[in-house]
């Protein structure tokens, strides 16, 4: 993680504005974020809509009034690289990619993912193939469907490859308050330990460290087989 990516990741956890890009999943995420109590600015981006989840919508990233601190990306995979490149050029902070269908699907997807990494530039890029980020301190949720949890001033910071695990944890009945839950997916740019490093500087009562790290400071990768992505790899603009 570069110094600029770190600054952009900090923007994710205390955003002034959030962009939701895509169709139905983005619209639900935008509406849910507002219902949860987010008081900042929310923009939609979709060339076929005038509003997205009850918020003003713009046809392209270039049309946004300013660079968003955080972005939820739920576009068809074929549009992902150009959209992320536009966000990077705009000066966006963090990009959370719900869009899937990349390296987790095999060699062809891995080639597209390599282009996605290059397009991300210095953005704090999370994913792809992740459900998103739940932020119960700022009520700033970049998430495609309903979840549990409640606003807190301090709580547990949790990072997982699995978005469904994060969702299930928010439904717990044991009164464990979460400050943040981050589903990180393929870890194409930012890794689990990058998120933890920034979590440690914020209001989290608990943290987790990898058991051991490789020679470059990364936790060693485990062999993995191609997975069938869920949710669907190719969300639409509708």
Between these two residues, 236 and 150, which has the higher pLDDT value?
150
Q: Is the pLDDT of residue 150 over 90?
A: no
Quote the pLDDT of residue 223. 41
Single pTM value for the model:
0.84
Quote the pLDDT of residue 160. 84
Q: Which domains does the chain have, with CATH numbers?
A: 3-199 (3.40.50.720)
Radius of gyration of the chain (CA): 16
Q: For residue 51, what are its two tokens?
A: 């509003």
Between these two residues, 136 and 216, which has the higher pLDDT value?
136
Q: Output the average pLDDT for the chain.
A: 85
């Amino acid at each position: 993680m570069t110094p600029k990516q770190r600054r952009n990741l900090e923007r994710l956890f205390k955003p002034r504005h959030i962009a939701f890009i895509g169709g139905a999943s983005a619209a639900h995420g935008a509406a849910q974020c507002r219902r949860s109590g987010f008081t900042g600015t929310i923009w939609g981006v979709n060339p076929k809509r005038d509003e997205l989840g009850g918020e003003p919508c713009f046809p392209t990233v270039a049309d946004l009034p300013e660079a968003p601190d955080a972005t939820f990306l739920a576009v068809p995979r074929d549009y992902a690289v150009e959209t992320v490149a536009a966000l990077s050029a705009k000066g966006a902070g963090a990009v959370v990619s719900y869009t899937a269908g990349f390296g987790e699907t095999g060699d062809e997807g891995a080639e597209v993912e390599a282009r996605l990494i290059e397009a991300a530039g210095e953005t704090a890029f999370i994913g792809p193939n992740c459900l998103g980020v739940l932020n119960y301190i700022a009520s700033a949720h970049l998430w495609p469907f309903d979840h549990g949890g409640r606003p807190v001033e301090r709580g547990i910071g949790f990072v997982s490859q699995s978005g469904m695990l994060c969702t299930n944890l928010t439904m717990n009945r044991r009164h464990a308050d979460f400050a943040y839950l981050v589903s990180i997916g393929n870890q194409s740019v930012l890794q689990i330990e990058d998120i933890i490093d920034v979590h440690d500087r914020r209001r989290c009562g608990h943290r987790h460290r990898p058991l051991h790290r490789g020679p470059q400071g990364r936790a060693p990768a485990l062999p993995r087989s191609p997975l069938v992505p869920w949710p669907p790899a190719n969300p639409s603009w509708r």
